Amino acid sequence: MVIYVGYVQELRKVIGKRPVILVGSVVIVINDENKVLLQQRSYPYGVWGLPGGLMELTESTEDCARREVLEETGLIIGKLELVSVSSGPQNFVRAENGDEFYVVTIVYVTKDISGGSLRVDGDESLNLEYFDLSNLPDDMVGSHRKAIGDYFIKMSL
């Protein structure tokens, strides 16, 4: 199962399954106990990752990050700090339905949880849990594990 935003669905009608470049955002949400929020995803099933997703037309990457966190976790976040930008051949994805794309992922961190309440969305998420940064789950999206590693590096500078 692949869940696309409206823009990508329209684009796929024109180009079919050919590779495209898509831009998305993920957010390292840190709570008061210095733990990171991860979502156990419905796709790929059971794998843990950061909340995030693909940009819609007219959105900034920051707007995308805030929207995705709200949709997937129920939390309203404020200030975002840039951690890293990830792109290149290691970000190639071939979805189960055959769609191919390269993702440019903007990684943000925030400790600014300004509202909402933590809830599993039931569509993209199976579970939400805060993890100690040094004790992440084994079954995790590789690029998201790297993003958290980039955050560790940034913190130590």
pLDDT tens readout for residues 12-45: 899 999 999 999 999 999 999 999 999 999 888 8
Name the token pair of 140.
Answer: 């995790």
Domains in the chain, start-ordered, CATH in brackets? 6-156 (3.90.79.10)
CA separation for the pair 142, 12 (Å, rounded): 26
CA separation for the pair 95, 17 (Å, rounded): 10
8 A C-beta contact, residue 125 and residue 72: yes
pLDDT, one tens digit per residue, over 107-150 is 999 999 999 999 998 888 999 999 999 899 999 999 999 999 99
Q: What pLDDT does residue 157 have?
A: 72
Q: What pLDDT does residue 5 have?
A: 54
pLDDT, one tens digit per residue, over 51-79 is 999 998 889 999 999 999 999 999 999 99
Give the DSSP letter of residue 88: S
